[in-house]
Amino acid sequence: MLNRIISLIIKELLSVWRDKKSRMILIVPPILQLLVFSFAATLEVSNVSIGIINEDNGIISKRIEDRLIGTNIFSKIYHLQNKDAESFIDTEKGLVIIHFNQDFSRKVLNKETGNIQVIIDGRRSNSAQIVMGYISQIINQYNLDYMVQNNIQKSNSIVITRHWFNHNLEFRWFMVPALMAIISLMMGIVVTGLSIARERELGTFDQLMVSPIQPFEILIGKTVPGLIIGLAEATFLFLIIIFILQIPFRGSLLLLYISLFIFICSVLGFGLFISSISKTQQQAILGAFLFMPPAILLSGFATPIENMPSWLQPITLINPLRYFMAILRGLFFKDIPVEVVMTNLWPLIIISIITLTGASWFFKRRLE
């Protein structure tokens, strides 16, 4: 029996490796995605175009302008007339306009409050808010410096912010480990999903069915290769992330691999299910693609689960990616201890058991 299973596993691995198409699918998309996502996918804001309407041209406004230029956020600064404001934002020439009134510097020098208006483009509200945050920091800093300089006995309190785990709020550190999870998910599903469908299409499935091999042996023989490939792929990505992209990993390697293993098991069940119901490889791929975007989206990958409406959040409870994402980010950033890993691990274990047994049962029924 073991002999049969091992033969099947070897055959599966060889099939995937020797088929140029699958080899491509295993190597190219992960690398592409890793590159694209680490560099393109960012919610950070930089290289922004800003418009300044300076009706004042006084010394204080100039100082503020200098400070704005001094940051690295604004790459292009346009000096505009009032009448140009609308079209500047409308035609998306810039994200933000800062407006200094005529009497701005005068007021400030007169020890009155100077008002700055900041206009942001609500069509790109997230980025605009982040830019607003940067500008307000600059203004606050100016205010603080002013008070210190002029010895103002003005009690002011400030908020000192420290970002734990990621001082510079590097978005890449957030995105990239997530990719390890996503790509392992994809590979696991694609490899297992295609395997049975491919045999049916080639006609070799009958040849298998006619041999003494038992249904459960076929299942093991089909899922183990997916596991091996998923683990290998994840390790490959992990090495790239650590050594080439130089993203720090602070947690326990052992916990990482245990969680990875269980995660892939949970994913394989889905892949197997898709494969059992598909008659052709093409159907299997469509099935996989129908499953993946929702799974990825509803996992906290780009936007936190907490932001989702309350009726949608419970659905994420059956999404294995959600749990693994939390474990992965926790291990990378926070070196989370075993207890914390476990809170996310036991749902994964349950999901694995359910999907694997469910898929096996379905597969057996399909054989009849």
147 binds other proteins (CB under 8 A): yes
Q: For residue 297, count CB atoms less than 10 angstroms from its CB and return exposed for 0-12, middle for 13-18, buried for 19 or more.
A: middle
Bridge-based pairing of strands 96-100 and 74-79 is: unpaired
Under the binding rule (CB under 8 A), the answer on residue 150 touching other proteins is: yes
How distant, in Å, are the alpha carbons of 42, 118, 176, 210 from that of 39?
7, 29, 9, 51
Quote the least distance from Cβ 238 to other proteins, whole Å: 17
Under the binding rule (CB under 8 A), the answer on residue 115 touching other proteins is: yes
Q: Give yes or no for residue 154 binding other proteins (CB under 8 A).
A: yes
**Distance, CA of 294 to CA of 316 (rounded, Å):** 10
Asked if 113 is part of the footprint of other proteins (rule: CB under 8 A), the reply reads: yes
To other proteins, the closest distance from the beta carbon of 253 in angstroms equals: 18
* Sign of the CA dihedral with 7 first, then 12, 13, and 19 last: positive
- Exactly one of 240, 267, 326, 356 binds other proteins (CB under 8 A); which one? 326
What residues contact residue 62 under an 8 Å CB cut-off, 6+ apart?
none
Q: Which is nearer to other proteins, 235 or 313 (CB)?
A: 313
Among 51, 174, 181, 263, binds other proteins (CB under 8 A): 174
- Write out the two tokens for 40: 């393109």
Q: How far is the CB of 78 from other proteins (least distance, A)?
A: 14
Task: Give the residue from 319, 340, 302, 193 showing the smallest Cα distance to 263.
Answer: 319
State the number of binding residues for other proteins (CB under 8 A). 132
Strand partners, 58: none
Tokens standing for residue 22: 């699958």
Using CB under 8 A as the binding rule, the residues of this chain from 226 to 265 that contact other proteins are none
* Binding residues for other proteins restricted to 124-143, rule: CB under 8 A: 124-130, 132-133, 135-136, 139-140, 142-143
How far apart are CB 70 and other proteins at their closest, in Å?
16
Cα-based distances in Å from 202 to 123, 124, 278, 360 = 51, 50, 13, 22
Which residues in the 41-70 window bind other proteins by CB under 8 A? 41-49, 60, 64
Cα–Cα distance between 185 and 194 in angstroms, integer?
14
Q: According to CB under 8 A, which residues from 13 to 42 bind other proteins?
A: 14-15, 18-19, 21, 25, 29, 32, 36-37, 39-42
Q: Which of residues 264-323 bind other proteins (CB under 8 A)?
A: 281-282, 285-286, 289-290, 293-294, 297-298, 302-304, 306-309, 312
What residues from 194 to 233 belong to the interface with other proteins (CB under 8 A)? Answer: 202-204, 206-214
